[in-house]
Amino acid sequence: MARALIALARPRWRITLLWQFSEIVVWIMTLLWLLGFDPNGHGIDYSWLMYSLLIRDVFLLVLAGLVVYEMWHPEVDVVRASGLDDPGGGPFDDAPDVWRQWLIERAERRYAAARHAAPELTAVATPTVQADRRLRK
């Protein structure tokens, strides 16, 4: 199920194939650890299984981050890069991205308020500014 959803959410395949390869490695490492080919203990040390799980989790987090990034930035999305809305949008086709527009307007308001409230920095004389003034004289 997850593979089908990632194919719909992100049709670029490189990172998805790396994630699937890491799933195979986790499966093999789990079997080696559980089956215990070594008579003195398990087939592999438990730390190797944890390393493979951590690598797999990093791939999952990267994939989730890329899906969210492409949701908020349709210009980098392969499906919506041409400017068309989501082709599978159904009744929501050509609907405005309300949350994205709200976040952009909020960020612009905060930037304008911060720029307006910032004190003038002309009175501050750092050593670099002082050295530059001495060179100009």
pLDDT along the chain (137 residues), means of 10: 69 86 94 75 81 94 89 77 68 70 78 71 49 49
At 95 the pLDDT is: 73
Contact predicate 6/63, CB 8 Å: yes
pTM of this prediction exceeds 0.75: no
| Whole-number pLDDT of residue 122 | 45
pLDDT at position 123: 47
Half-sphere CA count of 29, side-chain side, radius 13 A: 18
**What does R_g of the chain's alpha carbons equal in angstroms?**
26
Q: How far apart are CA 73 and CA 126, in angstroms?
A: 39
